[in-house]
Structure 1
Amino acid sequence: MTANPRTIALCIFLFLASALVTLSLRSAHHTGGWLPSVRPGKGSSSRPSQQVLGPKVAFATFLAANANPDAKATDEESAEINDEDDGYFLGTRVLAYQLLHSRTAGTNNSIPFIVLCTEDVSARKRAILKSDGATIIVVEKLNADWVIPGTDRWRDVMSKLRLFQLTEYSKILFIDADTLVTKPLDGVFYDEATLTQATLTNPEQIKDDESALPRTYMFSTHGDFWGYDHPYPPETDLNYLNCGFFVFTPSKVLFNYYLSLLKLPGRFDPGFPEQNLLNYAHRRDGNMPWKPLWYGWNVNWPTEKDWRGGARSFHAKYWDGDPSHDPVLKAIWWRQRAEMEGFYRGRDLARAR
């Protein structure tokens, strides 16, 4: 029996159409899919302009006024020494460079970097960070009389919880300013731990004096090692979370729940203020347990072994003289700082022409 030429042609057409659809779907999956896509733009000094498609994601950090005991009395005096007295401000600038501009550590997608600032961060410093490419959001402080932190530099850290009010974003990765980034982090938004979870309903974990929990939530992070002596890959079944690096979905209901905990003296240990509040709210045996991220996204108490093992970011104050810091990672941070300063000098010279 002779095949009908029209039937053969129709089969070939359907096969080619199916292959084209499959190729398009695979390409979208591997290039970021729902992450902001990059489009070439005019007049950009560092990165292309972007057209955001789908849900919005962001990187974020928190910056309060300089709490360094050796801080200069005025912002003008700090400016005269290039803000060497304000490590967290310098760390925020390096972090902005790493995420937004670095050829090795920067993301391949144009994801905004939010700096949540308290009102007492000087207008000059905010303007510098904005010029660096950061999105500046100034917020009122969030405190409670009974919450007395273990050290003065943590006096305003509760204010970082205001990030949960930014419901225009579907996912935010919070990164402490004292973080070295050596490889892109945009893939963290694909981590399976960042999938939306249904809030559990264990009645024993529901407290009458606390606000209602959201129906769903997402809060993912990693455990704290409490020291440099840890293996790589590290243990992943830890119960105490470290909130120097965490991914979450903003939620007004969840934010109001946190506020209700602040009104209950003794509900959590205030020594590590926001960290212990989050450890209580997202305790592993509670109704909103935190989910562990892939261990390589970030390491607390990091060493060269973690870096050589493939970890992508490292939590430590490399700007200070702490002798316990890993010398290799400290050297990388200082090189990143030098790159940042050279990058902005070149940008400023180009703008002046």
Structure 2
Amino acid sequence: MNTNPRTIALCIALFLASAFVTYTLRIGQHSATSGRWLPAVSHTRAHNQHIVSTPKVAYATFLAANTHPEGEEDVPDDQDGYFLSTRVLAYQLLHSRTAGTNLSIPFLVLCTRDVSKRKRDRLKKDGATVVLVEKLNTDGVVAAADRQRDVLTKLRLFQLVQYTKILFVDADTLVTKPLDSVFHDERTLTQATGMNPEKIQQDEGVLPRTYMFATHGDVQGYDHPYPPDPNLDYSNCGFFAFTPSKVLFDYYLSLLKLPGRFDTGFPEQNLLNYAHRRDGNMPWKPLWYGWNVNWPMERDWRGGAHSFHAKYWDGDPSHDPVLKAIWKEQRAEMEGYYRGREDGLR
């Protein structure tokens, strides 16, 4: 039997119309229920596009005014080692084509209020986020050097609970490769605080239920191997990742009230080593060894390390000459970058 072509065309048209209606209804249902399964989103003002929200992370360092026996105002800014190195670090983390952030991660500079406004304004021009804080009461703490008198103030970073993770980097650090991926290092995952009653001191503050504190062992000399020994117990706190916590901050303060609880020669480093001792309830976790090296040598750089902890602005003859030369190049690059940018704005 022959089928009328008009009948066939009508059937096809009805089928397509039905399919279109079904598709439209399903899209509408999906839009109505999408909030149940989509992750949190935010809108960009420029294009009104949906983007998945990410944890708020930051780089940070600490700058005090008491690093010069002769007084801060008597030292030219370009000869103030810690201030100069903070500027170089800001350039490296925020603007360098080879070492800078690819994720627009902010760089916080925690400053005591006696750091001059001139220096704070310069750091803001450089792109840093200056965070002014009050010094901690450190009565009874006798540091090994006068320039370390205020370093315990860096613990106030743990009060910045608007951030989920912060990577602290000492100002005297050379960065040669990006550090963004440190926030994805598996050792920066939140840890459950241990409950071993033998490790709980009744005169100390309450421990948080969870914490995150990750760093690396202090190799204690230039003759270290690369990769370094992974079983070191004492950590160097010139480079560490952590999750801010008011409970943890209060716990640290409780330790400051207990004379003899930790050696105050290196105040904040020894406090953190005690609070996060490897056999305690909040042991520090070892970051990948290549993120940062203390007592650095050229072989560490050639081995692939990303950053190096040393005061390359001073005349210490023990510093590795290759790394010192790279830091000086970074300083010159930083000065040229800001000079060019500011000349362009005139």
Pairing 1:59–2:59 present:
yes
Segments of 5+ residues of structure 2 without an aligned counterpart are 1-14, 20-38
Pairing 1:155–2:149 present:
yes
The aligned residue for residue 203 of structure 2 is 209
The aligned residue for residue 274 of structure 1 is 268
Residues 207 and 139 of structure 1: CA distance in aligned 2, closer, same or farther (over 3 Å): same
Pairing 1:111–2:105 present:
yes
Do the aligned residues in 1 keep the contact of 2:65 with 2:72 (CA within 8 Å)? no
Structure 1 segment 1-353 matched on structure 2, within 5 A? 53-69=53-69, 71=70, 73=71, 75=73, 77-78=74-75, 81=76, 83-352=77-346
Question: Identity over aligned residues, as a percent?
Answer: 74
Q: TM-score, normalised by structure 1?
A: 0.83
Q: Distance in 1 between matches of 2:327 and 2:172?
A: 10
Residues 238 and 40 of structure 1: CA distance in aligned 2, closer, same or farther (over 3 Å): farther
Any idea what the Cα deviations from partners look like across 1:93-139, whole Å, max 9, x if unmatched? 00000000000110111000000000100000000000000000000
Do the aligned residues in 1 keep the contact of 2:214 with 2:284 (CA within 8 Å)? yes
Segments of 5+ residues of structure 1 without an aligned counterpart are 1-5, 11-32, 42-50
The aligned residue for residue 31 of structure 2 is none
**Secondary structure at the residue paired with 1:117?**
strand
Q: Distance in 1 between matches of 2:157 and 2:310?
A: 22
Q: Distance in 2 between matches of 1:351 and 1:236?
A: 49
Residues 238 and 173 of structure 1: CA distance in aligned 2, closer, same or farther (over 3 Å): same
**What code does the residue aligned with 1:281 have?**
A
Any idea what the Cα deviations from partners look like across 1:316-340, whole Å, max 9, x if unmatched? 0000000000000000000000000
Q: Distance in 2 between matches of 1:338 and 1:40?
A: 37
Q: CA RMSD in A?
A: 2.0
Do the aligned residues in 2 keep the contact of 1:221 with 1:243 (CA within 8 Å)? yes
Q: How many residues align?
A: 304
Do the aligned residues in 2 keep the contact of 1:66 with 1:88 (CA within 8 Å)? no
Q: Distance in 2 between matches of 1:231 and 1:40?
A: 50
Q: Distance in 2 between matches of 1:341 and 1:108?
A: 21
The Cα of 1:252 is off from its aligned counterpart by: 0.3
Do the aligned residues in 2 keep the contact of 1:58 with 1:172 (CA within 8 Å)? yes
